[in-house]
Amino acid sequence: MTATDHGPGVRVPPPVMVAGLLAVAWGLGRAVPVPLGPPLPEVGALVVFAALALIGWALIVMMQAGNDPRPDKPDAALVERGPFRFGRNPIYLGFILGMLGFALRWGDLWGWIALVASHLVLDRLVVAKEEAYLAGRFGAAYDAYRARVRRWV
């Protein structure tokens, strides 16, 4: 890590991006409801719990490796264990699972739109920058990891 290494250049924290989309979906669901089916609050709660567990596990593994989980900070190590063995972006996958949980809980179109929007925002505005950064930072080791492990699952 050098003094000029400022990480992948993601300036808006991904949890803020996803929370903003969630808030907009919630507000639209209250103002202009578009029900798609019955709300499934119990199933949605289980999915949200699973999402939080995945996020927590990934954060613990990252911090144990010496990395700051904020995407505006440089990485000290390439993390390939824990949930990172199954997908390169378990924290973001957890965010998307959380959005799925809310969409199921609400049973409304806006939750599903926010789910798709979250995936697109994370994939294009965050993951793409992080992958370019990691390729430059870790070179062949990251290329081998990327060849072995899928982006999402």
Q: Report CA Rg, the chain.
A: 17
- What average pLDDT does this structure show over 46-57? 98
- What average pLDDT does this structure show over 111-135? 96
* Average pLDDT taken over every residue of the chain: 94
Read off the pLDDT of residues 79-101 as tens digits, 9 standing for 90 and up.
999 999 999 999 999 999 999 99
pLDDT at 6: 67
pLDDT surpasses 60 at 4: no
- Give me the residue spans of the domains in the chain: 39-148
Which residue do the tokens 């965050």 mark? 126
pTM confidence score: 0.93
DSSP letters spanning 60-94: HHHHHTT--SSTTS--SS---SGGGGT-S-HHHHH
pLDDT surpasses 60 at 1: no
C-alpha–C-alpha distance, residues 149 and 79, integer Å: 12
Token pair in block for residue 101: 């949980």
pLDDT surpasses 90 at 8: no
Percent of the chain scoring above 70 in pLDDT: 96
**pLDDT classification of 3: cutoffs 50, 70, 90:** very low
- What average pLDDT does this structure show over 9-35? 96
